[in-house]
Amino acid sequence: MAATYSYTVSQLARRVDSLLAGIGAQGRVLVTGEIAEPWFRRSAYGPVAGFTLTEGGESLTCISYGRALAGMLSRDVLTGECFDPPRKPEEVIIAGREVLCDGEIHAYAKKGKSLYQLVFMGVTDLAQGRRDLELRRLRAKLSKEGFFKEERKRPVPLNPTRIALVTSTQGAVIHDFLQNARRRGLGARIRLFPVRVQGDEAPADIVQAMALANQDPSLQCIVLIRGGGSVQDLACFDDERVARAVFESRLPVVAGIGHEVDTCLADMTADLRASTPTQAAQLLWEPRTELAARAEGTFARAKDAFARLVARQGGELSALGRSLRLVSPQAKMARQARDLAGLAARLHRGLGLRVQQASREASSLALRAGRTLDMAFGQGRERLAEARRRLARTPQALILAKARETGALALRLHRGLARAVQQEQGRLAGMSRLLKASGKAFAEDREHALESLRLRLEAASPQRVLERGFAAVSDGEGRIVRSVQALEAGREVRIRMADGSFLAVVKAVAPADGTGPEKAPEASALASSGARP
């Protein structure tokens, strides 16, 4: 029977390889140690990475390639954390780092010698694991103190004009932030607080800068930003001192730290978190095109509202003008002037009729006087002719006597006619003087009546009432308010005084019987302004 433990060199190597592959749970082992001599290269099969894992003077060769290396770079096997984009090998395999390696033991031959090595599928930083554990404990502690409550966080002003920028002056992040700030908003003054954003001294710098920013009363908010980096690079923003400085800040804090997938305690405590520093600027300031469009829309709406207001006020003014023209002193004086003109025309016509009537009466009297004189002269001539005839038949003495008698009769007749004419002329002159006096008295009486009406009109004018301290109250439609029953609290009224008008809002209504609320100065003023003009 052949010996069971007899092998050739190659057979033994394969046997050892199969035995090594069975070490651990289903061929997988976890090995801890310190990375030394890391190396990276490309082969015909793709990228290859390796290093020497040392511990207590012993060493183990570790290598990874193909799917094992790609899976390790895109996902942490122990924690389950995924990385997109995948990590670079040099970001994981760092000399001097204490790590936990997950892989399989395989034998291999090198320069004719049989060796074994660890084909690793995962590398976990033990120090980072301890830091993660401590960070979880700190996060739970701060959460109990209310650091991350949304109701605690304050609103950050939109388009601020004065901000404090806490960041490093090195790198492109500050230039990207300032470039976005120049293209957005309405212009802002940015006060820079330069700090270190990486290393053991960074937390103290950040805390001091935030304290100085809170002492400036002109600032509106604080912006804390940093570019992307590894977990170790961003460790200062997970420091408890920085989280407390953000929590206790008087000013609202905007945090934009790392890339979109990075989350630290400062981000969680800040009043506003931005995924990147560039987004922090975008959250603070709106694009100028949007502001310009909004301003144009606001101007258009304001223009339309002003046009509607002017149209409404113009309608109210026209209504008030019509109402005022109906009750104005000028309208009443115009009506009185028309009445006076009518009375003057009637007086002129009456005086003309009286003059015409007097002229006709005078002409009639003159005609009657002329006829009377003609009749008297005719009768005298007839009597003279008769006397002559009789004289021709009588003696001389009788003729002389009759002649004297006839002369005396003619003289009396002439004197009587002269007195009659003089009396008629005096009567006509008296009637003319009486007519003139009557017309003058009638005109004076009408002038006195017109003056009296004008004085009464001025005394009853609404303008005179307003000049004595009263006011006219009208509602929104221009109607005069004559009773407090038409008013109610909160209603808008217009009050017109002697030198202008103003709008007022009724606060309280107090009827004259005192049943309403206690009279306030506003209510008394409104009650006095409701006097009827």
CATH code, 9-131 = 2.40.50.140
> Per the confidence metrics, is the pTM higher than 0.75?
no
The phi-psi region of residue 502 (left if phi > 0; otherwise alpha if psi is between -120 and 50; otherwise beta) is: beta
**Reported confidence tier of residue 358, pLDDT bands at 50, 70, 90:** confident
pLDDT at 24: 57
In sequence order, what are the beta bridge partners of 493?
A: 504
Contact 492, 467 (CB under 8 A): no
Residue-wise pLDDT for 165-209, tens only, equals 999 888 788 888 888 888 888 888 999 999 998 888 889 999 999
- Compute the radius of gyration of the chain from its Cα atoms: 63
Q: What is the DSSP string of 133-151?
A: HHHHHHHHHHHHTTTT-GG
pLDDT digits (tens, 9 = 90+) for 370-407: 788 778 778 877 877 877 777 666 666 666 776 777 77
Residue 249 or residue 332, greater confidence? 249
Q: CA-CA distance, 228 to 277, in Å (whole number)? A: 9
Give me the pLDDT at residue 532, please: 37
Higher pLDDT, residue 93 or 467: 93
Question: 3-state class of 494 per DSSP?
Answer: strand
Residue 521 has what pLDDT? 44
Calpha distance 312→256 (Å, rounded): 52
Residue 87 pLDDT greater than 90, yes or no = no
Rounded to whole angstroms, how far apart are CA atoms 328 and 463? Answer: 8
Question: Average pLDDT for residues 66-74, to the nearest whole number?
Answer: 87
Q: What is the pLDDT of residue 458?
A: 73
Is the Cβ–Cβ distance between 125 and 119 less than 8 Å? no
Percent of the chain with pLDDT over 70: 85
User: What is the fold of 145-286?
Assistant: Rossmann fold (3.40.50)
